Structure 1
Amino acid sequence: MNIFRLAADMTHLLSIVVLLLKIHTIKSCAGISLKTQELYALVFATRYLDLFTVFLSLYNTVMKLIFLGSSFSIVWYMRNHKVVRQTYDKDHDTFRHYFLVIPCFFLALLVNYKLTVREVLWAFSVYLEAVAILPQLVLLQRTRNVDNLTGNYVFLLGAYRGLYLVNWVYRYLMEEHYLRWISWIAGIVQTALYLDFFYYYLKSWRNSEKLQLPA
């Protein structure tokens, strides 16, 4: 594993820690899209079907368990915790996320590395992860004022994907025959969705101002 892959994984893990800190400590999910969290839970559930059948390393297995466990835990808290669920902004979190799931599934049937159940679902998880942040970004666009923990969470998610792009460039240069077009294109699309948010996040950080997104 190279340093860029490790940095990306740790950034992803840190984003989850920030979100769990908000939910468990502050008992609030204000500004967090349940639709996005449900999409991430679906992403990990369809990607890690080999969790108990293929062993690559202890690190790989532990990270899979963390991402699966944390994603479903977040969804459960936002739906069922009597305090946390009261802070959920369902009036603004109205993005119809099945409009993302259905096209991604059909795309996975058409574009995959191998037409098997596991490979199709893996491709589906990659395509869905690329757009899973959209309900979250739309929610922030509607509410405009973004608290620090939510802003940090979204920024870290975007940074994780950006670091994975660097990891792929590094592997392409250092490893022979390393081609992963599905991951590369989906990763570029996913990173591009964050660019507008990055601009306003870094602008507010530089000016020591509260993060506000344009209407």
Structure 2
Amino acid sequence: MNIFRLAGDMTHLMSIVVLLLKIRATKSCRGISLRTQEMYLLVFLCRYLDLFYSFVSLYNTVMKLIFLASSAAIVYYMRYDRVVKQTYDRRQDTFRYLFLIVPCLILALLINHAFTLTEILWTFSIYLEAVAILPQLVLMQRTQNIDNLTGNYVLLLGTYRGLYILNWIFRFFTEPHYRQWLVWISGLLQTALYGDFFYYYFKCWKSNKKLTLPA
């Protein structure tokens, strides 16, 4: 494992920790898209099926279990916690995620490395992760209710993807047979979706203003 992959994993983990801290400490999920969180949980469920039949390393297994458990906890809090669920912006978080899930599934059936159930689900998870942040970005744009923890959560998610791109570049030049075109293209699309957010985040940070996204 190279330093970019490790830094990417830790940044991804930090993003989830920040979100859980926000929910636990403030007893609020205001500004957080449940639809994005449910899609991330679906991503991990489809991608980590290999936990049942393949062992890579202790680090790999532990990280997968952490991502699964933390994502499930976030969805649970937002849906079933008596206090937290009352702060959910249900009327604003209306992005129809089937418009993302169904095309990603169809694309996974058509473009994959092997036409097997596990490979199709893994490919589906790659495609879905690329666009899962969209409901969150739309919610932030609609409500303009972007507190520091929510903004930092999205910032860390975008940083994690940027670090993974550096990881791919490093592996491309150090591993002769490393080629992952589906992963690369999906990752670049995902990173591009954060571009607008990054621009306004650092613009507001530089001017010491509250983060807002243009409607």
Q: TM-score range by the shorter chain?
A: over 0.9
Give the match for residue 134 of structure 1. 134
Q: Residues 127-183 of structure 1, C-alpha deviation per residue, up to 9 Å, x if partnerless? A: 000000000000001012310000000010011001101100010011111100010
1:6 paired to 2:19: no
Deviation at 1:52, TM superposition (A): 2.5
- Separation in 1, partners of 2:31, 2:64: 26
- Separation in 1, partners of 2:30, 2:147: 9
Q: How many residues align?
A: 215
- Separation in 2, partners of 1:170, 1:207: 35
Give the match for residue 98 of structure 1. 98
Deviation at 1:199, TM superposition (A): 0.3
- Separation in 2, partners of 1:14, 1:205: 20
Give the match for residue 24 of structure 1. 24
Q: Residue 11 of structure 1 contacts residue 160 of structure 1 at CA under 8 Å; is this kept in 2?
A: yes
The alignment's C-alpha RMSD in Å is: 0.6
Aligned sequence identity (%): 68
- Separation in 2, partners of 1:59, 1:207: 40
The amino acid across from 2:119 in the alignment is E
1:75 paired to 2:71: no
Displacement over 4 Å in runs of 4+: none
| DSSP-derived class of the 2:49 partner | coil
Give the match for residue 189 of structure 2. 189
- Separation in 2, partners of 1:52, 1:73: 21
- Separation in 2, partners of 1:206, 1:54: 47
- Separation in 2, partners of 1:47, 1:105: 13
Give the match for residue 208 of structure 2. 208
Q: Which runs of structure 2 are paired with 1:13-162 in the superposition (5 Å)?
A: 13-162=13-162
The amino acid across from 1:95 in the alignment is F
Q: Residue 12 of structure 1 contacts residue 157 of structure 1 at CA under 8 Å; is this kept in 2?
A: yes
Deviation at 1:14, TM superposition (A): 0.3
- Separation in 2, partners of 1:207, 1:113: 47
The amino acid across from 2:162 in the alignment is G
The amino acid across from 1:125 in the alignment is S
The amino acid across from 2:130 in the alignment is A
Deviation at 1:25, TM superposition (A): 1.0
| DSSP-derived class of the 2:51 partner | coil
TM-score by length of 2: 0.99
Q: Residue 145 of structure 1 contacts residue 213 of structure 1 at CA under 8 Å; is this kept in 2?
A: no
Deviation at 1:4, TM superposition (A): 0.2
| DSSP-derived class of the 2:56 partner | coil
- Separation in 2, partners of 1:25, 1:51: 32
TM-score by length of 1: 0.99
| DSSP-derived class of the 1:48 partner | helix
The amino acid across from 1:58 in the alignment is L
Give the match for residue 199 of structure 1. 199
- Separation in 2, partners of 1:12, 1:161: 8
Give the match for residue 166 of structure 2. 166
